[in-house]
Amino acid sequence: MLSVSISKHKKQASRKRIIMTLTLLALSAVILCGVTVLLSCPVSDTAFSPEPSPHTDKQETAAKASPSYASCAKSTPFTARISARNAVLIHADTGEILFGQNEHARAPMASTTKIMTALVALEALPVETEVKITAESVGIEGSSIYLTEGEVLTLEALLYALMLESANDAATAIAIAVSGDVQTFAERMNQKAAALGLKDTHFVNPHGLDDPEHYTTAYELAIITKEALKHPVFQRIVATQRTTIPHQGASGVRLLLNHNKLLRSYDGAVGVKTGFTKKTGRCLVSAAKRDGLSLIAVTLHAPDDWRDHTAMLDYGFSLYEPVVLATPGQFDTPLDVVGGTCEYVMIQNPDSLVLSLPKSRGEIIEIMELPRFLYAPVSVGETIGRCAYYELLPTGDMHFLGEVPLYAGHSAEALVYKKNILEKLLDLIR
């Protein structure tokens, strides 16, 4: 009897081992199939992360953004002939080069120097600063508004004279007001150039009169302009076609006229500066904006600079198109509320998002970022999350394009708990 019992136990144990082995094999097959399915899934229009970030309680986390989308825009070759020795066209937001011709070669830049002069002055002094004109600022060679020793003008008035009439005496007065003398101001200009990462730019004066040690490149001058256009006062000045400033010691005022004729002839033009000496030839920096897209063009030693800039800007705008990413009310999503008088609130977007994007671009990915739920109270109009848009790059990275905020469409008051009769009686006994 004992031997029979042992034999039965051995057979049962053997069956259990076989069943367990088969079960493990089946589970392995299921897991492998699942992995295969996951690996074969294509990228969808909306990305999700299984768990929220440790820093946020959001259902979806934004993908890593690439710093730029490189040369995606340049799908169409530039065929126009450019008269300039040095030329460049850049995207004013990213700094991407859309067209270049000897854009990294050093060259003199005449009065386009004054873009840096204005930038340094705006970062150094308030525009209301009163500047007393010294003898060193009077009678400077070249363009002038004929300042007189002892008269007092605001920095803002001198900046208008600098950028509209290209006044060399105004440039000198600004330099002395900021740094005490021209040489020290030029050193400050070079410090700013170094801070911008420029390695082929050097200044010896604030006005751009010829000097062998005074030079830049078309590209680096575009980067200086990109930085200057971040200042609202600079934007306003270079976009002004005509204005007046005081003329102390004489009746009337000084009339200042902007010599950048693109402001009158080119759709979307916003500035910025002309320049000329016999050595440098005609120099021009221009900027234009259409449908949210800003471009900066630079030409140095360009006999036909107006035509050059028109051709370059036209080319740049032809590479882009307005794209509607979100319309007002596009999103109307319920989101659960805990401890509220209502179970959920509707999440909505009252804003639109329209961007100028390259006609040649990758897939656009839309990612809605919202918490898993809300705790009451929730106020109407409260910012709850965002919908972010990315461009999928050939590298697999995603470049951030823009976002629209998501708000609570209505409020949810906190639920007030009321004790029942039994709980009230227990409170009295205690």
DSSP character string of 12-63: HHHHHHHHHHHHHHHHHHHHHHHHHHHHTPPPPSS---SS--TT--BSS-PP
- Per-residue DSSP letter, 126: -
Q: Residue 182: how many CB atoms within 10 A of its CB?
A: 19
Which one-letter amino acid corresponds to residue 29?
A
The torsion defined by the Cα of 184, 186, 190 and 196, in degrees rounded to 10, comes to: 110
Q: Is 103 exposed, middle or buried (0-12, 13-18, 19+ CB in 10 A)?
A: buried
Q: How far apart are CA 259 and CA 262, in angstroms?
A: 9
Query: Can you give the C-alpha Rg of the chain in angstroms?
Result: 33
Q: Which two tokens stand for residue 3?
A: 């031997």
Contacts of 398 (CB under 8 A, 6+ apart): 63, 64, 65, 66, 365, 390, 391, 392
Tokens 């040095």: give the residue: 86
List the catalytic residue out of 58, 111, 144, 179: 111
111 catalytic per annotation: yes
* C-beta separation of 335 from 298 below 8 A: no
Strand spans (E) along 108-249: 130-132, 152-154, 242-246
Catalytic-labelled residue, pool 137, 143, 166, 286: 166
Q: Of 114, 192, 226, 273, which is the active-site residue? A: 114
Contacts of 343 (CB under 8 A, 6+ apart): 336, 337
CA gap 114, 280 in Å, rounded: 15
Query: Are the C-beta atoms of 152 and 142 separated by less than 8 Å?
Result: no
Beta bridge partners of 277: 281
Tell me which residues are annotated as active site: 111, 114, 166
